[in-house]
């Protein structure tokens, strides 16, 4: 089918090979016909490079906004053409019924106002997950090659309804959808979100809600970080102590990483785990929403919870506790560290491989996808260095560096996985010991590991801390609770997963990672995830050429309003002023900026509260006077304060300058 652009282009040309051969009156007649057609087309079509007034996230590939609208009423019918489309049609009917209060249901057959259609002949342009959506005055049609495409078409359609469609109770509005024609498909096949359920436990219902929210933004991979030093969260029937002991820790309040050590005799009361039944239920729930779950079982490092249950699997056999958030490692910068409480499995002990095999056997049975993530990151080798068994193994293998024992360990784990029909996935440290060609690498220490892995021919998922670590604080560190580092939404939006010089086919996609040391609740997980995961959904789904922060920011604000209706949490840190300083010739130089466009930023340095009559920042650097000044900054929009007041004393301003 020609696009409207083709039609417009066609109407601007006569389609006559040699106009000189055609009588003049005939030419005029043809021109008039073309002109009338063009005027009609222009009257009914606005082709939008960005969905300026539609606010869809992630940005679809192609949108034509038409004149008119469709209005849903209590008699609106929902239909589908084949049984495989029924689950999505039912889901759509359920989604629409609650906020509208209409008892809508879906039926197989052609005569329906909202119609979900699986293509009889494949539309090659949209692939497995793409869809077309056509909204006219009387009908809405979503067409796709596979149910996944219908599912994403449904998500887009829901975003076209008024924000009240997010309401959990019935609302009174006109349920009007603007007339559009959309063609949409993803840029990447791997659009992931990782949730760490070890540092804090998220019950089954929370996990489902987290999945519900990610799919609205067309994420399709849920990386479930199930084990770590702070809790083992998956039932392994052949190793019951993993959850009897490893899933529970003593309860501690306060900043994670600074908490007091466990005392002998203290009761472990905080935690939880997922039974096999829970896991099957969540895997099924996710699959119904086009989400693949990639389980992660951390090894050989980050294994303190496993060692609390089975201390004999470490080098020292010493009793350790499931860690409640104490600082048990020293970090020396430049990626080096020492772990002061053993948290690694002993690679020289055959019992360890029996243990790993038992764990992976059950994990492989529970998760149908081909990948099992086995961690491999931040494995401290200090205990291995001092262990006689490890030394003997190194000698036997002809290994000179203790670091290479991890390669030996991972090689054995990979063979186990292959025997179970699974593929090994690991953090980029797995490259250090040499890898078999089938292994897939998750690049987290920047893009470097991913680039190296791709050059070696491995598949790669890009998850660099610098763009996608959504556990990092996102607003000013004097406002948002500080954690390891800092990542603004705009920076996430600027992420490009395919580095230059790398075969793009090997970059499966990207993923945002939510580590939960400081995230005790689902509500706070939402705060940390959004809006950055909205920004990243656009990186993973939308076309690179359509990236436009200002346009995204406008749509993001519309989604803030939708989240408000839904009662879902998100961060408004994008409204907080960005305060940057530098030292020049012994003087503090200040630059103020904002993430979202259209804000006015006012500040004081005279110990008064700023308002919109205070000094307004031009955005240019200003030299601050010497003396014990305090900077106070507040953003305004249309004369109203927006975002937080930021207050920084001279010392903090100097620290920020790297002094
Ligand atoms: C990681 O963040 N340690 C993979």
**Phi, psi dihedrals of residue 474, rounded to the nearest 5°:** -110, -10
The answer to the question of residue 478 being in a domain is: yes
Q: What pairs with residue 589 in β-bridges? A: 582, 623
Whose alpha carbon is nearest atom 2 of ligand 1? Answer: 444
User: What integer pLDDT is reported at residue 333 of this predicted model?
Assistant: 83
Instruction: Kindly tell me if the per-residue pLDDT of 36 is higher than 70.
Output: no
Same domain, 102 and 242: no
3-state DSSP assignment of residue 585: coil
The answer to the question of residue 56 being in a domain is: no
Q: Which of 302, 458, 559, 644 is catalytic?
A: 302
Q: What percent of the chain clears pLDDT 90, i.e. is strictly above it? A: 89
CA 232 vs CA 228, 242, 252, 311, 438: distances in Å: 6, 6, 17, 14, 27
Instruction: Kindly tell me if the per-residue pLDDT of 9 is higher than 50.
Output: no
Same domain, 23 and 152: no
Instruction: Kindly tell me if the per-residue pLDDT of 5 is higher than 90.
Output: no
378 noted as active-site residue: yes
User: What integer pLDDT is reported at residue 32 of this predicted model?
Assistant: 54
User: What integer pLDDT is reported at residue 433 of this predicted model?
Assistant: 80
Average pLDDT over residues 389-400: 96
Same domain, 164 and 259: no
pLDDT band of residue 130 (cuts 50, 70, 90) is: very high
Average pLDDT, the chain: 93
Instruction: Kindly tell me if the per-residue pLDDT of 358 is higher than 50.
Output: yes
Instruction: Show the tokens assigned to 159.
Output: 């975003």
Distance CA 59, CA 81 (A): 27
**Gap from CA of 448 to ligand 1 centroid (Å):** 14
Same domain, 508 and 529: yes
Distance CA 590, CA 588 (A): 6
Same domain, 226 and 77: no
Q: Which of 378, 429, 526, 595 is catalytic?
A: 378
Which of 296, 297, 427 gets mutated to test ligand 1 (max ligand atoms within 8 A of its CB)?
427
Q: What pairs with residue 529 in β-bridges? A: none
User: What integer pLDDT is reported at residue 1 of this predicted model?
Assistant: 33
Range in 45-49, 213-217, 541-545 the model is least confident about: 45-49
**Gap from CA of 610 to ligand 1 centroid (Å):** 41
| Distant-in-sequence, close-in-space partners of 179: CB < 8 Å, separation ≥ 6 | 65, 66, 67, 68, 69, 70, 135, 136, 137
Instruction: Look at the chain and count its residues.
Output: 659
The minimum-distance atom of ligand 1 relative to the CA of 469 is: 2
Average pLDDT over residues 472-498: 95
3-state DSSP assignment of residue 558: helix
362: CATH:
3.20.20.80
The minimum-distance atom of ligand 1 relative to the CA of 465 is: 2
Instruction: Kindly tell me if the per-residue pLDDT of 651 is higher than 60.
Output: yes
156: CATH:
3.30.379.10
Average pLDDT over residues 135-159: 98
Name the domain boundary from 133, 150, 184.
184
**Phi, psi dihedrals of residue 42, rounded to the nearest 5°:** -65, -30
Same domain, 312 and 449: yes
Say how many Å lie between the first and final Cα of the chain, rounded. Answer: 62
CA max distance for the chain: 103
Instruction: Kindly tell me if the per-residue pLDDT of 33 is higher than 90.
Output: no
Is the separation of the CB atoms in 520 and 196 below 8 Å? no
Q: What percent of the chain clears pLDDT 70, i.e. is strictly above it? A: 92
pLDDT band of residue 283 (cuts 50, 70, 90) is: very high
Domain count, the chain: 4
Name the domain boundary from 515, 548, 573.
573
Instruction: Show the tokens assigned to 504.
Output: 């793009």
Instruction: Show the tokens assigned to 231.
Output: 């809790």
Same domain, 8 and 112: no
Same domain, 125 and 269: no
Question: What is the per-residue pLDDT across 437-471, written as a single tens digit (0 to 9) for each?
Answer: 789 999 999 999 999 999 999 999 999 999 999 99
Instruction: Kindly tell me if the per-residue pLDDT of 20 is higher than 60.
Output: no
Whose alpha carbon is nearest atom 3 of ligand 1? Answer: 377
The answer to the question of residue 82 being in a domain is: yes
The answer to the question of residue 57 being in a domain is: no
The answer to the question of residue 91 being in a domain is: yes
The answer to the question of residue 55 being in a domain is: no
User: What integer pLDDT is reported at residue 111 of this predicted model?
Assistant: 83
Question: What is the per-residue pLDDT across 285-315, written as a single tens digit (0 to 9) for each?
Answer: 999 999 999 999 999 999 999 999 999 999 9
Task: Report the pocket of ligand 1 as residue ranges, CB < 6 Å.
Answer: 377-378, 427, 444
pLDDT band of residue 39 (cuts 50, 70, 90) is: very low
The answer to the question of residue 119 being in a domain is: yes
The single residue listed with the structure tokens 């692939």 is: 127
The answer to the question of residue 545 being in a domain is: yes
**Gap from CA of 204 to ligand 1 centroid (Å):** 24
Question: What is the per-residue pLDDT across 316-333, written as a single tens digit (0 to 9) for each?
Answer: 999 999 999 999 999 998
Same domain, 68 and 176: yes
Name the domain boundary from 520, 554, 573.
573
The minimum-distance atom of ligand 1 relative to the CA of 378 is: 3
**Gap from CA of 428 to ligand 1 centroid (Å):** 9
Question: What is the per-residue pLDDT across 191-207, written as a single tens digit (0 to 9) for each?
Answer: 999 999 999 999 999 99
228 noted as active-site residue: yes
Same domain, 45 and 116: no
Instruction: Show the tokens assigned to 460.
Output: 């790669």
**Gap from CA of 376 to ligand 1 centroid (Å):** 9
The minimum-distance atom of ligand 1 relative to the CA of 513 is: 2
pLDDT band of residue 351 (cuts 50, 70, 90) is: very high
Q: Which of 62, 166, 184, 228 is catalytic?
A: 228
Q: Which residues of 271-298 are buried (b: 16+ CB within 10 A; e: fewer)?
A: bbbbeeebbeebbebbeebbbbbbbbbb
Distance CA 90, CA 639 (A): 46
User: What integer pLDDT is reported at residue 110 of this predicted model?
Assistant: 81
pTM of the model: 0.92
User: What integer pLDDT is reported at residue 435 of this predicted model?
Assistant: 81
User: What integer pLDDT is reported at residue 51 of this predicted model?
Assistant: 47
Domain that holds residue 346: 190-573
The single residue listed with the structure tokens 């106009």 is: 19
Whose alpha carbon is nearest atom 1 of ligand 1? Answer: 377
Distance CA 230, CA 214 (A): 25
**Gap from CA of 377 to ligand 1 centroid (Å):** 6
The minimum-distance atom of ligand 1 relative to the CA of 302 is: 3
Same domain, 225 and 178: no
**Phi, psi dihedrals of residue 454, rounded to the nearest 5°:** -65, -40
**Gap from CA of 575 to ligand 1 centroid (Å):** 29
Please state the separation of Cα 229 from the chain's center in Å: 24
Which of 375, 378, 379 gets mutated to test ligand 1 (max ligand atoms within 8 A of its CB)?
378
User: What integer pLDDT is reported at residue 4 of this predicted model?
Assistant: 40
Q: Beta strands of 136-226 (E only): which ranges?
A: 140-144, 175-184, 190-196, 221-225
Angle of helix 86-100 versus helix 147-160 axis, rounded to 10: 20
609: CATH:
2.60.40
Same domain, 296 and 419: yes
Distance CA 253, CA 324 (A): 9
User: What integer pLDDT is reported at residue 632 of this predicted model?
Assistant: 98
Is the Cα dihedral 212, 214, 219, 220 positive or negative? negative
């Amino acid at each position: 089918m020609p696009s409207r652009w083709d039609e417009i282009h066609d109407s601007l040309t006569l389609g006559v090979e040699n106009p000189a051969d055609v009588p003049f009156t005939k030419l005029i007649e043809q021109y008039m016909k073309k002109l009338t057609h063009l005027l009609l087309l222009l009257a009914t079509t606005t082709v939008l490079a960005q969905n300026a007034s539609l606010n869809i996230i992630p940005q679809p590939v192609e949108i034509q906004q038409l004149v008119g609208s469709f209005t849903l009423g209590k008699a609106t019918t929902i239909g589908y053409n084949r049984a495989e489309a029924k689950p999505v049609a039912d889901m759509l009917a359920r989604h629409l019924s609650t906020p509208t209060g209409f008892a809508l249901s879906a039926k197989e057959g052609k005569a329906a106002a909202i119609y979900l259609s699986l293509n009889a002949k494949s539309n090659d342009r949209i692939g497995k997950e793409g869809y077309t959506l056509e909204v006219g005055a009387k009908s809405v049609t979503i067409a796709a090659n596979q149910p996944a495409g219908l599912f994403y078409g449904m998500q887009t359609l829901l975003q076209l309804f008024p924000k009240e469609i997010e309401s959990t109770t019935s609302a009174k509005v006109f349920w009007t959808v603007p007339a559009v024609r959309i063609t949409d498909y993803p840029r990447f096949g791997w659009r992931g979100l990782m949730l760490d359920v070890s540092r804090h436990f998220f019950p089954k219902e929370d996990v489902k809600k987290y999945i519900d929210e990610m799919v609205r933004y067309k994420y399709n991979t849920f990386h479930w970080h199930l084990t770590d030093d702070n809790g083992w969260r998956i039932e392994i029937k052949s190793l019951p102590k993993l959850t009897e002991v490893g899933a529970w820790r003593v309860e501690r309040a306060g900043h994670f990483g600074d908490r007091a050590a466990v005392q002998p005799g203290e009761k472990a009361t905080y935690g939880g785990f997922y039974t096999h039944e829970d896991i099957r239920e969540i895997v099924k729930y996710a699959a119904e929403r086009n989400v693949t779950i990639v389980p992660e079982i951390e090894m050989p490092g980050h294994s303190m919870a496993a060692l609390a249950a089975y201390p004999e699997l470490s080098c020292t056999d010493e009793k350790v506790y499931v860690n409640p958030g104490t600082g048990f490692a020293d970090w020396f910068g430049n990626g080096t560290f020492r772990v002061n409480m053993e948290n690694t499995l002993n690679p020289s002990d055959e019992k360890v491989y029996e243990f790993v095999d038992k764990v992976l056997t059950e994990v492989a049975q529970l998760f149908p996808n081909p990948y099992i993530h086995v961690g491999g990151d931040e494995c401290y080798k200090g205990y291995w260095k001092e262990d006689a068994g490890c030394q003997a193994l190194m000698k036997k293998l002809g290994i000179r560096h203790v670091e290479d024992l991890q390669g030996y360990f991972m090689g054995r784990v990979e063979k186990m996985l292959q025997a179970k029909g699974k593929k090994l996935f690991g953090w980029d440290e797995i490259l250090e010991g040499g890898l078999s060609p089938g292994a897939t690498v998750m690049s987290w220490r920047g893009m470097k590991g991913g680039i190296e892995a791709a050059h070696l021919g491995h598949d790669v998922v890009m998850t660099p801390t610098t763009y996608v670590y959504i556990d990092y604080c996102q607003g000013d560190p004097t406002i948002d609770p500080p954690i390891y580092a800092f990542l603004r939404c705009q920076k996430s939006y600027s992420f490009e997963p395919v580095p230059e010089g790398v075969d793009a086919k090997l970059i499966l996609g990207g993923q945002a990672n939510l580590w939960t040391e400081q995230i005790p609740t689902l509500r706070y997980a939402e705060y940390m995830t959004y809006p950055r995961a909205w920004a990243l959904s656009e990186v993973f789904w939308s076309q690179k050429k359509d990236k436009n922060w200002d346009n995204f920011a406008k749509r993001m604000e519309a989604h803030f309003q939708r989240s408000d209706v839904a009662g879902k949490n998100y961060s408004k840190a994008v409204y907080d002023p960005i305060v940057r300083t530098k030292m020049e010739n012994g003087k503090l130089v200040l630059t103020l900026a904002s993430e979202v466009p259209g804000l006015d930023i006012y500040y004081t340095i005279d110990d008064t509260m700023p308002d919109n009559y205070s000094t307004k920042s031009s955005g240019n650097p200003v030299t601050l006077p010497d003396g014990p000044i305090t900077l106070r900054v507040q953003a305004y929009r249309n004369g109203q304060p927006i975002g937080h007041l930021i207050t920084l004393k001279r010392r903090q301003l100097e620290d920020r300058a790297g002094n």
